[in-house]
């Protein structure tokens, strides 16, 4: 018997205590020392043994191998005058969890760093015993230990970061609910939107697929048309459009929003999109109908069409029939007169025919040639 543990034929595990540790003792070093006595099952370094120096459990496949190693190595020094071995029989180690593995690699970090500073020192194993001859391979062991330690540290840090990100997401959700109760959108794309009907347990935040366009007071038409597309793609509910529009504003536009909100009672929750949109148009596009009626073609048909559509899209309730009539009437006279002969039924057909007329006029084709060419082209458009 030894160390209070029964030495029977099934006991194959040694408790190895190393005192006066002045150089790194790693599982590689222990493997080099104990493997000549028999096949090893496992070497487990014990992190809780920091107060007594260094301890490890060395498990052999056979009891007689463990007994031979104990009898031969007990009381020996790994290096000259340091790192003395005290060996007893013990019980097999319990399964090791992640934190124990991490702590095990941390245990001798300080000793390893000290050894790096003593780079010129080449420890020699006592008496040149071949069974204990680790030679200068301790540096390789040190490098391997540091590499494994880095991996364990990275893994643990990543785990902590995941926990932190999860906590931050929960805090962010809580903040959103307190400020603007949110709703869960459908699978067309989701963004944080106010809804007083859902509680925190019903909340699921999803990042919008598109970035909401910004507006500082310039290029209202461009921003407004992009905003309408954003509402459609992200499936923004009607009662959330004011909030989304406000979040896209900055500078002078945001100042206007704050002033308007104060005049309506001071709370954004009391604003409806139809009235808010009407106020926006009055501020930045006060009379789109008048603007559309006064818009005349002065450049190319294509440029005129772009300006016409940009203004037309501000008028949600205008019929295509009226829009087409205004478009045709405000073309250059030489184009408008020919186009009226064909009476296009769609606005886009009117544009395509006008562009073809402009091209043939620029080519200096005669009136009859233009009419004949347009008849074929007009039939093609009607069949599509």
Long-range residue pairs from 140-144, CB within 8 A, at least 24 positions apart, any chain? 140/28, 141/24, 141/26, 141/28, 141/29, 142/24, 142/26, 142/112, 142/115, 142/116, 144/26, 144/28
Which of 195-209, 210-224, 252-266 shows the lowest per-residue confidence on average (mean pLDDT)? 195-209
Residue 377, pLDDT score: 84
- Which pLDDT value is given to residue 206? 47
- Length of the chain measured in residues: 384
Predicted confidence (pLDDT) at residue 193 exceeds the cutoff of 50? no
More confident residue, 83 or 191: 83
- Determine the pLDDT at residue 121: 43
Q: What is the pLDDT of residues 115-130, one digit of tens each?
A: 445 444 444 444 444 4
pLDDT band of residue 96 (cuts 50, 70, 90) is low
Predicted pLDDT at 78: 87
Which has the higher per-residue pLDDT, 80 or 330?
330
pLDDT higher than 60, residue 358? yes
Paired tokens of 55: 């301890």
Average pLDDT value for residue range 365-380: 84
DSSP state at residue 52:
G
| Local confidence band at 162 (pLDDT 50, 70, 90 cut-offs) | confident
The predicted structure's pLDDT at residue 219: 86
* Whether 370 contacts 357, CB under 8 Å: yes
CB atoms under 10 Å from CB of 315, counted, come to 16
At residue 171, the pLDDT reads: 66
Interval 287-308 mean pLDDT: 92
Whether the CA torsion 293, 222, 230, 345 is positive or negative: it is positive
Q: Which long-range contacts (CB under 8 A, 24 or more apart) does 249-258 make?
A: 249/214, 249/215, 249/216, 250/214, 250/215, 250/216, 251/216, 251/217, 252/216, 252/217, 253/215, 253/216, 253/217, 256/217, 256/283
Does residue 80 have a pLDDT over 80?
A: no
Q: Give me the helix-helix angle, 273-284 and 251-263, nearest 10°.
A: 130
pLDDT value for 12: 92
- pLDDT of residue 114 exceeding 70, the answer is no
pLDDT grade for 132, boundaries at 50, 70 and 90: very low
Residue 28 has pLDDT above 70, yes or no: yes
Higher-pLDDT residue of 263 and 120 is: 263
Share of the chain above pLDDT 70, in %: 69
Residue 295 banded pLDDT, cuts 50, 70, 90 = very high
pLDDT tens-digit readout, 47-59: 755 556 788 899 9
Question: Does residue 327 or residue 165 have the better pLDDT?
Answer: 327
Question: With 70 as the cut, is the pLDDT of residue 29 above it?
Answer: yes
Backbone angles phi, psi at 5, to 5 degrees: -110, 130
Determine which of 90-104, 116-130, 235-249 has the lowest per-residue pLDDT on average. 116-130
Mean pLDDT of the chain: 77
Looking at 29-33, 140-144, 357-361, 375-379, which range is the least confident one? 140-144
């Amino acid at each position: 018997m030894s160390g209070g543990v029964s030495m029977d034929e099934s006991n194959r595990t040694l408790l190895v205590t190393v005192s006066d540790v002045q150089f790194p003792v790693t599982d590689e070093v222990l493997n080099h020392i104990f493997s000549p006595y028999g096949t090893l099952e496992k070497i487990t370094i014990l992190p809780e043994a920091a107060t007594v120096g260094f301890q490890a459990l060395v498990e052999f496949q056979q009891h007689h191998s463990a007994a031979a190693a104990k009898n031969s190595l007990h009381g020996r020094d790994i290096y000259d005058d340091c790192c003395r071995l005290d060996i007893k029989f013990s019980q097999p180690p319990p399964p090791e969890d992640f934190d124990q593995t991490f702590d095990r690699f941390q245990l001798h970090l300080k000793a390893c760093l000290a050894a790096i500073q003593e780079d010129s020192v080449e420890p020699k194993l006592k008496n040149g015993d071949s069974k204990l001859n680790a030679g200068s391979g301790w540096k390789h062991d040190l490098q391997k230990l540091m590499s494994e330690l880095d991996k364990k540290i990275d893994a643990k840090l990543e785990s902590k970061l995941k926990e932190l990100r999860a906590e931050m997401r929960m805090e962010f959700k809580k903040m959103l609910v307190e400020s603007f109760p949110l709703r869960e959108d459908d699978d067309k794309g989701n963004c944080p939107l106010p809804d007083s009907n859902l509680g925190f347990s019903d909340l699921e935040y999803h990042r919008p697929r598109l970035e909401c366009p910004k507006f500082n007071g310039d290029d209202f038409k461009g921003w407004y048309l992009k905003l309408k597309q954003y509402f459609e793609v992200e499936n923004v509910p009607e009662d959330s459009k004011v909030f989304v529009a406000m979040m896209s504003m900055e500078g002078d536009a945001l100042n206007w929003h704050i002033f308007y909100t104060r005049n309506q009672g001071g709370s954004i929750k009391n604003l409806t999109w139809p009235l808010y949109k009407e106020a926006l148009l009055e501020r930045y596009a006060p009379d789109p109908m008048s603007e559309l009626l006064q818009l005349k073609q002065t450049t190319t048909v294509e440029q005129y069409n772009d300006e016409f559509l940009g203004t037309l899209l501000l008028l949600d309730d205008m019929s295509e029939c009226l829009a087409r009539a205004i478009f045709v009437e405000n073309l250059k006279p030489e184009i408008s007169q020919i186009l009226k002969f064909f009476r296009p039924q769609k606005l886009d057909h009117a544009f395509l025919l006008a562009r073809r007329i402009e091209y043939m006029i620029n080519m200096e084709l005669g009136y009859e040639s233009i009419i004949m060419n347009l008849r074929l082209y007009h039939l093609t458009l009607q069949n599509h």
